[in-house]
Amino acid sequence: MGVPQNKSALQGGYDHQAWEARRRFLRFLLKTIGFTLLVRLDHVEGVENIPRRGAVIFMINHIAFVDPFVVMHVAPRNIVPMAKVEAYDYPLVGIFPRMWGVIPVHRGEVDRAAIRQALAVLRAGESILVAPEGTRGVALQQGREGVAYLGARSGAAIVPVALEGTVGFPSLRPSKRWRQPGASVCFGRPFRYRQAYRAARGEALRQMTDEAMYVLAALLPEERRGVYADLSRATQETIEWLK
């Protein structure tokens, strides 16, 4: 287990300032190229729900390749995404996660190196992006427990992010896709896990994960809620609202 040396963007800890200038430049490219020529952005709401300081976990539903880029573009602060390690090997775009310092994750196993790197970012008071299902899908699948583990161990605020309209992008403008509705983003009300659950394990982590996923599901249209469609089953025993 572990991350190959040439793919460990955050090996040896996390120094925010070492990445800041590079990420500012990449955000400029996202704005001037990505969201001018490749992705149509129609609607953003709930930006006021994003804490301006301190550790934050952005928890997204994942329906298309561009979802993390959309959130990184519209959020008012830099985000360090967690992404499958294979993203480093994509033709052309694989250079982006290397330059940004994306945290590579080996799927299908407990990737302790990725967990350590994510916690290092959060302990530095910065933010990460997590797709808790671990894969893309048209509707929510059961969330994996990593988001609860990271949220509990770090005490970070968790911001649920509902995405829609990203399927079909990137698409070079002007294409047929650009004549259809574009991407929309909704940042939900932030919460964190209660102090009593900071060292949670086992069944408690499962409950914490499902409670967070129901919060995300409530922001989505019914057809996107998947296994979390029945909102009457949602509980909030492990979470506390921040706003």
Strands 56-60 and 103-105: unpaired
Predicted confidence (pLDDT) at residue 91 exceeds the cutoff of 80: no
Predicted confidence (pLDDT) at residue 92 exceeds the cutoff of 90: no
Please give the pLDDT value at position 107.
Answer: 80
Q: Which residues are paired to 41 by β-bridges?
A: 183
Predicted confidence (pLDDT) at residue 10 exceeds the cutoff of 90: no
Report which of residues 171 and 8 the model is more confident about. 171
The CA distance from 188 to 11, in Å, is 32
Confidence of residue 153 (pLDDT cuts 50, 70, 90): very high
Instruction: List, as one string, the DSSP characters of 171-230.
Output: -PSSSGGGGS--EEEEE---EEE-GGGTT--HHHHHHHHHHHHHHHHHTS-GGG-GGG--
Q: Find the DSSP H helices in the chain.
A: 16-29, 67-74, 95-100, 112-123, 146-154, 202-218
Which structure tokens are listed for 80?
Answer: 């360090």
Predicted confidence (pLDDT) at residue 6 exceeds the cutoff of 50: no
Tokens 């509902």 — which residue? 162
Strands 127-130 and 80-84: parallel
Closest-CA residue to 116 (of 167, 152, 150): 150
Please give the pLDDT value at position 2.
Answer: 32
Backbone φ and ψ for 130, nearest 5 degrees, come out as -130, 135
Let me know: does 63 contact 57? Beta carbons within 8 Å.
no
Among 13-27, 40-54, 65-79, 135-149, which is the least confidently predicted range? Answer: 13-27
- Domain map (residue ranges) of the chain: 5-241
Please give the pLDDT value at position 111.
Answer: 87
Q: Which CATH class is domain 5-241?
A: alpha beta
Predicted confidence (pLDDT) at residue 3 exceeds the cutoff of 60: no
Nearby residues of 204 by Cβ (< 8 Å), 6 or more positions away? 197, 238
Please give the pLDDT value at position 5.
Answer: 35
Please give the pLDDT value at position 119.
Answer: 97
The answer to whether the peptide bond before residue 76 is cis (omega within 30 degrees of 0) is: no
Tens digits of per-residue pLDDT, 158-195? 999 999 999 999 999 999 999 999 999 999 999 999 99
Please give the pLDDT value at position 57.
Answer: 98
Confidence of residue 77 (pLDDT cuts 50, 70, 90): very high
Please give the pLDDT value at position 32.
Answer: 96
Let me know: does 105 contact 85? Beta carbons within 8 Å.
yes
Helix (H, G, I), strand (E, B) or coil at 91: coil
Report which of residues 215 and 96 the model is more confident about. 215
Closest-CA residue to 200 (of 140, 141, 160, 155): 155
Report which of residues 87 and 121 the model is more confident about. 121
Report which of residues 14 and 196 the model is more confident about. 196
Please give the pLDDT value at position 9.
Answer: 43
Confidence of residue 11 (pLDDT cuts 50, 70, 90): very low
Please give the pLDDT value at position 14.
Answer: 86
